[in-house]
Each structure stands twice: as C-alpha cells, then as structure tokens.
Amino acid sequence: MTGNKALPDNLTQITPNTVKTVTILGAESTGKTTLCQDLAAAFNSPFVLEFMREYLQKKWDELQLTCTWEDLIPITQGQINLENAQAKIAAKSGGYLFCDTCLFELMVYSYWYYGDCPKALEAAALSHHYDLVLLTCVDIPWVADDLRDSPNDRDAISDFFEMMLNRYQIPFYNVGGSRDNRVQLVATLLAER
C-alpha cells in the first residue's frame, strides 16, 4: 500500500500497489470529468468523480449557498473516501484508477479563493501519490452551470496550477485537443510507464 498513515482526520490515501493511479487537474470547464470518464471506458477501469461538485451542488440546490472555508475539510474527507473505495475496486482487476481531481486540486483552489489552505488538507494533498498527473488545457469552450464562476479566469487558474505543481516538484503532463486526442495522449503516456 502507498500513502501516509499518520494524516489527521483519516485523510490517508490507500492505494494497493497493483493499481496505477491517474489524476486529472485543471481549471473549470476544461474537460476533466469527460476525460476521466473516457479513460475509464477506454481502459475498462473505475473512476472517481469530483466529490466537491456533488457536495456543493446539494448545498446550492438546498440553500443557494456557495463554498465556504468550513466546507473544505468535509469535501476533503469525501474526496479521499471516494478515491479509497474506488481503489479497492481497481485492485480486483489490477488496473488503473482514474481520478477526476484529487486533494491537490482542492488545495490549489483553496489558495486561489482564500489565499490559504487548511493544514490537514495541505498535508494530505502533498503526501498523496499518483502515477500520472494530468493538467487539462484551456482549449475547449466554457460551459456555464450552477457552480462555475470563473469563465474569464481559466488561463490564470491554469497558470496557477502549473506554478503550484512546479513549486512542489510534481511531474505533470498538459493534455489538450479533441476528446480522442486527449485519450490517445494519455494512452501513450501510460504505455511508456
């Protein structure tokens, strides 16, 4: 197993050694979910959806409220719970686990929106490991929804992701182009591993 066993609030990533993990990061409306689902279908593997979206959509639908600082740790816990559950499923096939975001993305957005990050989230985000980290390019049209709020900031947010990935020396690959091109690029990257 990989992961840090001493993280607070049960934020430990538990991934069997037989599973190769791929996480997809990026600005809003850059095709992360679509790519994640396309890769899962192409490799007949499980995937992890973004818990923050489900959590905040429910909050919006019920209360017309957006994300607050107090939501960050519950979202963090929900995301890692989903990831760990899907990792168990992936272990049965010894294949891949595709993650539509991870705690690193939540940490980056915390710094983007609040200028700070809860220490437990940051510690967990920086201790988790992925075999392949992808950063989606801002090369597809913006699609509005209840939760997206930065149609004009996508390039700046993408640059901020690159800066943070480089700051923490996390190797990553930019993924852009058509849906088919994105899947083919990732398939090539995985074949090289």
Q: Residue 105: is it exposed, middle or buried by C-beta count within 10 angstroms (0-12/13-18/19+)?
A: buried
Residue 3 confidence (pLDDT) above 50: no
Share of the chain above pLDDT 70, in %: 91
What is the distance of C-alpha 30 from the center of its chain?
Answer: 12
* Amino acid making up residue 18: T
The structural domains of the chain, with segments of one domain joined by +, span 8-191
User: What was the pLDDT predicted at 148?
Assistant: 62
Residue 147 confidence (pLDDT) above 50: yes
Q: What pLDDT, in 10s, does the model give residues 89-118?
A: 999 987 899 999 999 999 999 999 999 999
Report phi then psi at 48, rounded to 5.
-115, 120
User: What was the pLDDT predicted at 4?
Assistant: 37
User: What was the pLDDT predicted at 61?
Assistant: 73
- Can you tell me the mean pLDDT for 52-76? 82
CATH of domain 8-191: 3.40.50.300
Rounded CA separation 110/112 (Å): 5
Asked if 79 and 29 count as a contact pair (C-beta separation under 8 A), the reply is no
Residue 157 confidence (pLDDT) above 60: yes
User: What was the pLDDT predicted at 76?
Assistant: 94
